Amino acid sequence: MQIYGVDTEGIGGVLIRFSAVVEANTKGISILGLAQRVVAEGCERAVKAIGQLDGNWDLSNFRITIHLSPAETPKHSAGLDLPIAITLLVGSLLQDEDKIEACISEFRHEAEKESGKKGSNDSRSLLLKKIDELSDQKDKIARYRKRIKENTNKYCLIGTLDIATGDIEPPRYGMFGMLSSIGKDYTVIVPEQSDIHAGLVSKVKGFTAYKAANLNEVWSILLGEAQPRTVDYVKSKVIRKEIANYVPDLQAINGAARAKEAMSIAVAGGHNILLVGPSGQGKSMLSSAATKLLPDITSGEIFEINKIYSAKGQLLENEIITSRPYIEVSQATTEAALFGGGVPPVPGEISLAHRGVLLFDEVNLFKKDIIERLRTPLEERKSIIQRVAGRIEYPCSFIMIATMNPCKCGWFNHFQCPQCGTILINKEECDKCRTKLAHKCKCNKTELKSYKDKLSNPMKDRMDLKVLLSSHDNRNQNKFDFSTKTVQKQIAAAREIQNERYKNENNIFCNADIRDNHQYEKFDHIDTDIKVYLNNISNKLDITPRQKMRLQLISRTVADFLQSEKVRQEDVRKAIFLMGLDNEYFRQF
């Protein structure tokens, strides 16, 4: 019989091999292999839980040393309690029977000596009790050792022990990821509360999984004295965990036609987007609507997301996440909460948004060091936490939606009629009153520049699409009056094109994942006349190489969205418009 446990590692797990050495003539329990405090305490929990077993499983007359392999990695999970307890019990069956018999003979001899003394009843009773315990252990060894040796299964055991009852419970952190790391050659035993999670994962990974209520049931299964209960994934028992709040339909958002179009293109290609506009104009509503624009979630993405939320400790019994996440980050969020870390290390908010949407409201008002640290995760699609014992990687492939006011007062480029109060954009005269409009913005040029410069140029570059949004903008008001369902179908079709284009690449899922032109040309060919057009217009607009690459990618996304096999000039012009490259506000950004 081989005993394994599973420890957390990032959002997944790593198998831990348990082995033990038993020594006579000394007592105690020690554990080797960088067991961290919660795992070391697991020895105490295991001993207490063993005390609740049927029969006498005394561990006090020998010494056992447990080794956790691999030895060089720290072990953190309370889910290692169960394999520790089973290793102790198996160790009790490895005792030398001859040495136990010698101890029994010695205690009998002492008991006989005590029988002739006055007032020695208590001492003699203790000796006789010890003889009974050792005899019971010797009988157990004779009865069970052969079964243990003949059992050639590899068991993977996960569970935290209750010291008062011996019940086993799921560890708080990482259960889904632990299960996902187990191969088909293992027989897995989990707490019965993990029935749904183990049932789902075992179907995919191909291992046999049983559930148990307590240590007594697990030990009885291993000894062949109890019929194991197979885990069962019953859909009616699944609790669907929602990780997005109310999501409005696009048609419920008044106006903002250009912003809706930009958001659709952003989602179609997985591009980041910056929405700039006054407060209360629908920036947050449009951001939350983006989650329903994304293509239907795949089974592989469901596994990834559930592993992340389980590693965070936010996936309870029978809960399964089957929708894309929408995470809104506040300015009070700390670096550790955003990027991950802590003790034990857990994923951050950027990982909780994996395969979904992450919103930074009023992004330019966040602490600069936090926003600047986003640059690497946005490029690498993973958050790396450096630790003394190594580094931890958490996936974080998300669409970043950032919002901000155009200026400190929020009314840049908005004009108001002094007579009727109508607010308009980019107009000098009120259509109704024929009165000259007054500029509603009170910010001077210095204040405007200072406000915009709170966001660094490298971060501005990473916002692929930039759009000014206002419900007061009547231009093209009815040009994008489509429902979420209609747009989602168009986006799904665009993503299908990209799936086919990048089908042989493991780390490329959409156009935004392309890093450079060399990589791009492996998958798509741009006609010579379009290359010339791109070069000419890039020179005219005086844009950076990064912006030029993004222009090419977003042009490709526009073409995909419109079901065009080739990138055309009109696709490039649309991309320029959506990126804000020809907008005076963003050109001076």
What pLDDT, on a 0 to 100 scale, did the predictor assign at position 577? 95
The single-letter DSSP state of residue 162 is P
AA letter at 22: V
> 267 with 560: CB under 8 angstroms?
no
Closest CA to 571 of 560, 586, 580, 582: 560
Q: Where do the domains of the chain lie?
A: 2-237, 250-408+443-587
Provide the b/e sequence for 370-395 (b: ≥16 CB within 10 Å): bbeebeebbeebbbebeeeeeebebb
Distance CA(291)–CA(307), nearest Å, equals 20
Q: Domain 2-237 belongs to what architecture?
A: 2-Layer Sandwich (3.30)
d(Cα 288, Cα 283) in Å, to the nearest integer? 9
Exposed/middle/buried for 174, CB within 10 Å: 0-12, 13-18, 19+?
buried
Domain range 250-408+443-587, CATH class: alpha beta
**Residue found by looking up tokens 């209960």 in the block:** 229
The pTM for the full model equals 0.91
Give ∠ CA 445-449-454 in degrees, rounded to 5: 155
Comparing C-alpha atoms, which of 98, 76, 80, 99 is closest to residue 88? 80
- List the pLDDT tens digit at each of the 589 positions of the chain: 999 999 999 999 999 999 999 998 788 999 999 999 999 999 999 999 999 998 778 788 789 999 999 999 899 999 999 999 999 999 999 888 888 888 888 888 888 877 767 666 778 888 888 888 888 888 888 889 989 989 999 999 999 999 999 999 999 999 999 999 999 999 999 999 999 999 999 999 999 999 999 999 999 999 999 999 999 988 888 999 987 778 899 988 887 888 999 999 999 999 999 999 988 888 999 999 999 999 999 999 999 999 999 999 999 988 999 999 999 999 999 999 999 998 889 999 999 999 999 999 999 999 999 999 999 999 999 999 988 777 899 999 999 999 999 999 998 888 888 888 888 777 778 878 888 888 888 899 899 989 999 999 999 999 999 998 877 765 545 577 789 999 999 999 999 999 999 999 988 999 999 999 999 999 998 999 999 999 999 999 999 999 999 999 999 999 999 999 999 999 999 999 999 999 888 987 7
Which residues, at least 6 apart from 446, have a Cβ–Cβ distance to it below 8 Å?
A: none
Extended strands (E) in 244-314: 273-276
Determine the pLDDT at residue 358.
97
pLDDT given for residue 480 in this prediction:
79
